[in-house]
Amino acid sequence: MLENLTERLSRVAKTLRGEARLTEANISEALREVRLALLEADVALPVVKDFVGRLREKAIGQEVLGSLTPGQAFLAVVQRELTALMGGTAEPLAFATQPPAVILMAGLQGAGKTTTAAKLARLLAGDRKKVLLVSADVYRPAAIDQLRALAQQVGVDFLPTDPAEKPVDIARRALDHARRHYQDVLIVDTAGRLAIDAEMMREIAELHAALKPIETLFVVDAMQGQDAVNTARAFRDTLPLTGVILTKLDGDARGGAALSVRHVTGAPIKFAGVSEKIDGLEVFHPERMASRILGMGDVLTLIEEAHRTVDVEQAKKLAKKVKTGKGFDLTDFKAQITQMRKMGGIAGMLDKLPAELARAAQSTQVDERRIARIEGIIDSMTPLERTKPELIKASRKRRIATGAGVSVQEVNQLLNQFEQTQKMMKMVAKGGLQKMMRGMKGILPGMR
């Protein structure tokens, strides 16, 4: 989403040449590039003016250390100011209250409030909290049914409601139910509109007064750009917002909302939606996002995802096979594909690597549907065939292709990829990461 901004800011570093100190004269062109980059990313004009002003103030007089170039010294200042613009540090949800801790979700229709409420419930349930979801959206058709289905999917409690009820009555009933059933957290999904209107704001203010939530989270579509700023300002003037959730941060828009909404609302960005999947909600770390914008990657988040998703025992067994070069079979191959998908797939992993490493696979294209077909092909094999793929001849290939609903050619392609992957495993044991990344092209499924 922020690729254009990253590219523009990376070019800024190359325009500054050998000076021992950053001055108004040698950073003026760089500041102009930063201003243009932010405006192209659809960052609100008042935010751009304030940011560039603070950047000029902090950069001028900055000494260039011997190990840095002037461009690197300037980008270090940009990184600090970007981090500050987005809130400085990650801020967790507040739970210092008598249970249930009430979380009120607010925002426009289409921002993804309902799905985000379920994603948040899933995260909290993972922290061993007893969560109750309730919908106070009595206007949008099927909104209540949608949240019921999502609650079932993430494994949390759901309070049935009726479109004939008043939203404030639903809120009071939900709060009473949560108290009587010893819920730790009550998440209330509210109605949105296609645009700000007086009735919507009156209703959300009434719900806030009835629930007295410890967290009032403003859900905003990161693809809205300048419109997000006006929406954020209207909600800020009506509600005491305690946090922001950015949705669709993985989209194709320019991403200005990510850099504008904290400045406009004064509320910290607490979570970011990074995919449409039910597990696609992450804690927002301003310093990590600043690093990603500047092409430095987000290796910490990648490591955290690995800790959450990787089966440690399975990883140890695989490491032993890689080290010895023996025993790596198609069952292991499929297990690695599954682990990779849990971590957001190849594209998600590359997105978090520093730009220099990611460029080693810059021509890679990802086809997640092809990955799913490969899993189907392996599932159609017998345990013996997965262990000894050399047994798979013409008749077996036809049977496997029929079972997986693919062509025999695709089965052949998989077997060739597996053979190349075995070679790559030996390469990893001997060589470096960049060598491995070059070897990945055309080897891992879904990449070409």
Cβ-count burial of 236 within 10 angstroms (0-12 exposed, 13-18 middle, 19+ buried)?
A: middle
Q: Mean per-residue pLDDT for 177-200?
A: 87
Q: Answer for the pair 377, 409: CB distance below 8 angstroms, yes or no.
A: no
pLDDT of residue 299: 44
Confidence of residue 117 (pLDDT cuts 50, 70, 90): very high
pLDDT of residue 287: 79
pLDDT of residue 364: 45
Question: Backbone phi, then psi, for 197, in 5-degree steps?
Answer: -145, 160
Q: Mean per-residue pLDDT for 238-257?
A: 75
pLDDT of residue 133: 95
Q: Name which of 8-12, 284-288, 318-322 the model is least confident about.
A: 318-322
Q: Which of 151-155, 194-198, 422-426 has the highest mean pLDDT?
A: 151-155
Question: Is the sign of the CA dihedral 157, 161, 166, 172 positive or negative?
Answer: negative
Confidence of residue 114 (pLDDT cuts 50, 70, 90): very high
Q: Mean per-residue pLDDT for 242-267?
A: 75
Q: Name which of 44-53, 58-67, 188-197, 271-280 the model is least confident about.
A: 58-67
pLDDT of residue 317: 64
Give the residue from 179, 176, 232, 170 showing the smallest Cα distance to 207. Answer: 170
Q: Name which of 65-79, 325-339, 404-418, 423-437 the model is least confident about.
A: 423-437
Q: Give the C-alpha separation, 421 to 415, whole Å.
A: 10
pLDDT surpasses 70 at 295: no
Residue with tokens 């209107």: 197
Q: Give the C-alpha separation, 440 to 359, whole Å.
A: 13
- Average of per-residue pLDDT values in the chain: 76
pLDDT of residue 440: 47
The type of residue at 167 is: P
Q: Name which of 85-89, 167-171, 314-318, 352-356 the model is least confident about.
A: 352-356
Give the residue from 389, 362, 379, 377 showing the smallest Cα distance to 447. Answer: 362
Q: Answer for the pair 228, 258: CB distance below 8 angstroms, yes or no.
A: no
Residue 149 structure tokens: 């289905």
pLDDT surpasses 90 at 175: yes
pLDDT surpasses 60 at 343: no
The type of residue at 228 is: A
The type of residue at 250 is: D
Residues 6 or more apart whose Cβ sits within 8 Å of residue 229: 44, 47, 257, 260, 261, 264
Q: Answer for the pair 318, 328: CB distance below 8 angstroms, yes or no.
A: yes
pLDDT surpasses 90 at 121: yes
Question: Backbone phi, then psi, for 86, in 5-degree steps?
Answer: -95, 5
pLDDT of residue 57: 82
Instruction: Report pLDDT digits (tens) over 4-61.
Output: 666 666 666 666 655 556 777 777 777 887 888 788 777 778 888 888 888 888 877 6
pLDDT surpasses 90 at 103: yes
Q: Answer for the pair 215, 132: CB distance below 8 angstroms, yes or no.
A: no
Q: Name which of 270-284, 330-344, 353-367 the model is least confident about.
A: 353-367
Q: Name which of 165-174, 246-255, 418-427, 435-444 the model is least confident about.
A: 435-444
* Domains assigned to the chain: 3-85 (1.20.120.140), 101-296 (3.40.50.300), 310-440 (1.10.260.30)
3-state SS, residue 216: strand
pLDDT surpasses 90 at 73: no
Q: Give the C-alpha separation, 422 to 438, whole Å.
A: 15
Q: Name which of 68-77, 119-128, 253-262, 357-366 the model is least confident about.
A: 357-366
> In which region does residue 88 sit, left (phi positive, over 0), alpha (psi from -120 to 50) or beta (all else)?
left
pLDDT surpasses 80 at 177: yes
pLDDT surpasses 90 at 172: yes
Question: Is the sign of the CA dihedral 298, 299, 300, 305 positive or negative?
Answer: positive
Instruction: Report pLDDT digits (tens) over 408-442.
Output: 988 888 888 787 776 776 665 555 545 544 544 44
The type of residue at 345 is: G
Q: Give the C-alpha separation, 382 to 67, whole Å.
A: 58
User: What's the whole-model pTM score?
Assistant: 0.64
Give the residue from 44, 86, 42, 115 showing the smallest Cα distance to 269. Answer: 86
pLDDT surpasses 80 at 71: no
Query: pLDDT over 70 for what percent of the chain?
Result: 69
